[in-house]
Structure 1
Amino acid sequence: MSYDLNDAQPQMAPIGELIPDGTFAKVRLTVRPGGVDGATQMDAKLLKASQSSDAKMLDCEFTILEGPHARRKFWQSFTVAGGKVDEKGQSIGWKISKSTFRAMVDSALGLDPRDESPDAKAKRVLPGLKHLDGIVFAARIMVEPASNPQYRDQNRIANVVLPDEPQHAAIMRGETVPPEPVNAPPRKAASAPAPGWQAPTPAWGAQPQAPAAAPAWGAQAPAPQQPPAQQPPAAQQPAAAPPSPPSGAPATGMPAWLNG
């Protein structure tokens, strides 16, 4: 017996590696039941309870179907009831989710978002949220920075790409579309700083300083500023930094992200 490896799929990206910010992709939504009943019989045990409020959410897994990131997955929950309410007592989270779900249907079925014909309206009526399970649509994916530095950044749906947008047709054909970043690149995992560079210690409670001038790319990085209370005596000040390298020479002692 032999094992033919020629038809094996390309290896998966390292666990934890994020899909680049602004990536366009054709994705499939899979609902992950959370054991909480929804508003219809079809949605029994479908929803997930929030751990911090009375909100009920639809827990979704998204799988990229084609292109360079095929088979990559990310996860996102959508509030469908409860949580913060507006002045009319309606769930703010549900109104946001409802708009996203409508966009998913329009994208999947090729409906013009301005089409208010009876036929189009009928296609946007779902007997239950369970009907969203398995829907395939075009999306732009973003990197959402974590609000707490103890947690990792995560991929999220930036927006559903609608049929009246120029990228929609190409995405649904499985073609690669140039990304349109939403945020800055994701933070890299903590690592030792580059030699000769040390992050300044924050002066907690001090008045904010004026923004620093834009860096001269390729020039020697200036020595980091320390809080006044931590400055060494004048006699112990380090010697002046050597002259900057000539233009075009590689910069040294600078953070990796500053060197591109």
Structure 2
Amino acid sequence: MSYDLNDAQPQMAPIGELIPDGTFAKVRLTIRPGGVNGATPLDAGLLKASQSSDAKMLDCEFTVVDGPYARRKFWQSFTVAGGKLDEKGQSIGWKISKSAFRAMVDSALGLNPKDETTAAKAKRVLPGLKQLEGIAFVARIMVAPASNPQYRDQNRIANVVLPDEPQHAAIMRGETVPPDPINAPARKTAAAPAPGWGAPQPSAATPPAWSAPSPTAAPSTPAWGAQPTVPQAAPPPQPPSAMPAWLNG
């Protein structure tokens, strides 16, 4: 017997090595259930309880799909209920997370964020947060400094890259885009900055071909293609128009 190592995958990067600040990459989301029920039957046992407040969170693992940092992982939690409240008594964390989840859907499906047609709105309706399992979208990744020197810095999503941004189509085609660091030192300018009221306004970005299909092959049995099974009672039937596009294949 012998072991043929020629077809082995390249070794993983050293544990703890971070993806460089400002890197653009296509990432895939995997949910790590925490045993706490969400607001819908589909989300039974899906959430994780905060150890310091009444917040309930979606514990997410992100894996880079392709490019120079393919298979690299990082983790981030999103508050979906509880925590600090605004003046209306609504969860501040959930409003932030809701915006991020909408951006993920728009990025994954190539929806222009300004598209408010009936068809586009229907694709942004989720019967449960469980439907985010397996979603692949373009992200700008940052290095978040640790607040405690005893811990390491960590990768986080700085922002989801939307289809009307120039990097989106390139990353979806599998191209490499130069990073745009979040924590880069300020650039020095010769002239003093103009007052706020006189500053030039940024021109509107020209929408790229955001609907271009991704070259990355879909997983053989993605969660997007099938209704997940949950231990609780099945949710009420949803009209086809209210289901995300990835659930319809």
TM-score (norm 1): 0.70
Secondary structure of 2:166's counterpart equals: coil
Equivalent in the alignment of 1:203: none
Counterpart of 2:40 in structure 1 is: 40
Instruction: Give 1:184 shift.
Output: 4.8
Deviations 1:101-137 (A, max 9, x none): 0000000000000000000000000000000000000
1:121 aligns with 2:121: yes
Tell me the number of residue pairs that the alignment of Structure 1 and Structure 2 aligns.
185
Q: 1:118-197 counterparts in 2 under 5 A?
A: 118-184=118-184
Q: CA deviation at 1:94?
A: 0.2
Shift of 1:6: 2.1
Per-residue CA deviations over 1:31-54 (Å, capped at 9, x if unaligned) read: 000000000000000000000000
Q: Which residue of 2 aligns with 1:4?
A: 4
- Equivalent residue number for residue 205 of structure 1: none
Structure 1 equivalent of residue 231 of structure 2: none
Q: Please state how far the C-alpha of 1:177 moved relative to its aligned partner.
A: 0.9
Alignment of 1:83-102 (within 5 A): 83-102=83-102
SS in 2 for 1:167: helix
Following the alignment from structure 1 to structure 2, what is the Cα–Cα distance between the partners of residues 175 and 83? 39
CA distance in 2 between partners of 1:106 and 1:7 (Å): 37
Partners of 2:116 and 2:65 lie apart in 1 by 30
**Between Structure 1 and Structure 2, whose CA radius of gyration is higher?**
1
Cα-to-partner distance string for 1:79-116 (whole Å, 9 max, x where unaligned): 00000000000000000000000000000000000000
Which consecutive residues of structure 2, in runs of 5 or more, have no partner in the other structure? Answer: 186-249
- What is aligned with 2:107? 107
Partner in structure 1 of residue 16 of structure 2: 16
Q: Deviations over 1:165-218 (max 9, x none)?
A: 000011112221111000159xxxxxxxxxxxxxxxxxxxxxxxxxxxxxxxxx
Greater CA drift, 6-15 or 121-130: 6-15
* Superposition pairs of residues 201-212 of structure 1, within 5 angstroms: none
**In structure 2, what is the equivalent of residue 215 of structure 1?**
none
Report 1 or 2 for greater relative contact order, CA contacts < 8 Å, sequence distance ≥ 6: 2
Q: CA deviation at 1:154?
A: 0.5
Give the alignment's Cα RMSD to 1 decimal.
1.0
Residue 2 (structure 1) shift: 3.0
Specify the SS of the correspondent of 1:20. Answer: coil
> Structure 2 counterpart of 1:125, which letter?
V
Runs of 4+ deviating beyond 3 Å? none
SS in 2 for 1:80: strand
Partner residue in 2 for 1:239: none
Q: Distance in 2 between matches of 1:50 and 1:78?
A: 11
3-state DSSP of counterpart to 2:95: helix
